[in-house]
Amino acid sequence: MIGSSQTLNSLGAKVVVASSCDESHPPENITDGNPHTFWMSTGMFPQEFIIRFAEPTKISAVTVDSYSVKHLKIDKNTSQNASQFESVTEKEFEHTEGHLQSNVISLNGSSATHLRFIITSGYDHFVSVHRVSVQD
């Protein structure tokens, strides 16, 4: 499966922290591979969620399908715990209306056990993340 895109659930990856929770749009919707289900922030910035992989995973890029996200930062670590993150990259997303944003973000093939996604600002009060998938 070289260079292919995989849903996070199939890799045994899970969202272990999320800064917002609407019970009808839970954070598990980020990793289910389905762009029709989503996690939604419930107000204020920054917002963040952390994805844990079952084992250290080499990641060349991640694809983020979202709505109204303006600025995203990605941190990673290689430890068993969701702490001591190092900054990897950040990106300004373009505003879209009526359809989802889809952004590929290069992570340079670095290895990680946790990825932290920090949404520092949005084009609206509320943002949604529909799918995160990784390319190895």
Partner 1 sequence: MTLFTSSHPANESTATGCTCSQDGPIKHLCVWLLRDALCPCCRGASRKTAKKKKTKTTESRASFSVINETRGFIYSVWTLSTLMVKLRARCLLVGDAAVGKTALSHMFHSDGTLFQKNYSMTTGVELLMKCVNIPETNNSVELYIIDSAGKQTLVEACEKMWGELSLLCLVFDLTSEQSFANCSHWMERVHAHCHGLHIPGVLVGNKSDLSARREVQVSVAQEWAQTQGLEYYETSAKEMENCDAPLLGLARAFHSLYQERRETIQNLSPA
Q: Which of 85, 100, 106, 136 binds partner 1 (CB under 8 A)?
A: 100
Both tokens assigned to 21: 């929770």
Per-residue contact track with partner 1, 19 to 58, x per CB under 8 A? -xxxxxx---------xx-x-x-xxxx-------------
Among 86, 90, 92, 124, binds partner 1 (CB under 8 A): 124
Binding status of residue 9 toward partner 1 by CB under 8 A: no
- Residues with Cβ within 8 Å of 27's Cβ and at least 6 positions away in sequence, in order, are 15, 18, 21, 39, 49
Q: Is 94 in the site for partner 1 (CB under 8 A)?
A: no
60 touches partner 1 by CB under 8 A = no
| Least distance CB 76 / partner 1 (angstroms) | 24
Please report, for residues 2, 19, 58, 119, the alpha-carbon distance to residue 45 in angstroms, rounded to integers and kept in the order given: 36, 10, 30, 7
Q: What are phi and psi of 28, to 5 degrees?
A: -60, -25
Q: How many CB atoms lie within 10 A of CB 40?
A: 20
Contact present, 38 and 20 (Cβ < 8 Å): no
The footprint of partner 1 on this chain (CB under 8 A) covers a number of residues equal to 29
d(CA 43, CA 96): 20
From the CB of 134, what's the least distance to partner 1, in Å? 17
Q: Residues in the site for partner 1, rule: CB under 8 A?
A: 20-25, 35-36, 38, 40, 42-45, 65, 67, 96, 98-102, 121, 123-126, 128, 130
